[in-house]
Structure 1
Amino acid sequence: MTMTDKAADRVREIVATRENANGIRLGIKKGGCAGMEYTIELVTEPNAKDDHVERDGAHVYVAPEAALFLLGTEMDFEQTTLR
């Protein structure tokens, strides 16, 4: 997984709002119409089994069970208004 500059900026913004957080963790759980839902949580202590993606000080940890679902993807951030 890779991360764009916009995504890295947003991860740093989110992490800065929480004391002791040093990144976010992406995971999956069963549910949704396609069978899986993505989860995002703040990380205070990284799990040694997680994959680690870093860009300009933005840290994203990928849970082992989510790695195959995110392989080859690019994380981006876009803010839109409701239409």
Structure 2
Amino acid sequence: MFAIPGASPVTITPAAERQIARLMSGKNALGLRIGLKKGGCAGMEYTMELAETREANEEVVEQGDARVMISPMAQMFLFGTEIDYETGLLESGFRFRNPNVTDACGCGESVRFEPLEGSRAEGN
């Protein structure tokens, strides 16, 4: 839907690739669907779910045995994002390094983006 010919909208690190493939095989899923929803103290939160089917207009990124499906409404906000998986002593999880984020809450669970040109947020 918002694809740039010849460019992948997101990149997946090897650690994220391994984790996504592991999750997919454990649930026999088609892929990991990522998106955004309103919420959190900064305004938007990333969503992730294992998907059994592909929805219309989803962008699909495949790398090795991992498959990520990007929901249509999130595509424009996720271009250039690196998806990583970090393992730490206290917590482990996916990390989104998104160059489009203009602000994030202290805990890193929610993010904010600049209003789109012509959107109501700009007063048009």
- TM-score, reference length from structure 1: 0.91
Aligned ranges 1:28-67 → 2 under 5 Å: 28-67=36-75
How many residues of Structure 1 are paired with residues of Structure 2 in the alignment?
A: 82
Higher relative contact order (CA 8 A, sep 6+): 1
Q: What displacement does 1:66 show?
A: 1.0
**Which consecutive unaligned segments of at least 5 residues does structure 2 have?**
1-9, 92-124
Match of 1:3 in 2: 12
> CA offsets, 1:26-47, max 9 Å, x none?
0111101111011101111111
- TM-score, reference length from structure 2: 0.62
Which amino acid in structure 2 is aligned with residue 65 of structure 1? Answer: M
CA distance in 1 between partners of 2:30 and 2:89 (Å): 29
CA distance in 2 between partners of 1:66 and 1:28 (Å): 6
How well do the aligned residues superpose, as a CA RMSD in angstroms?
1.4
Match of 2:33 in 1: 25
**Which consecutive unaligned segments of at least 5 residues does structure 1 have?**
none
Which amino acid in structure 2 is aligned with residue 57 of structure 1? Answer: D
Q: Percent of counterpart pairs with the same letter?
A: 43
> CA offsets, 1:19-67, max 9 Å, x none?
3x11110011110111101110111111131111110021000001111
Q: Secondary structure at the match of 1:67?
A: helix
One of 75, 80, 83 as aligned partner of 2:83:
75
Which amino acid in structure 1 is aligned with residue 62 of structure 2? Answer: E
Q: Which has the higher strand share?
A: 2
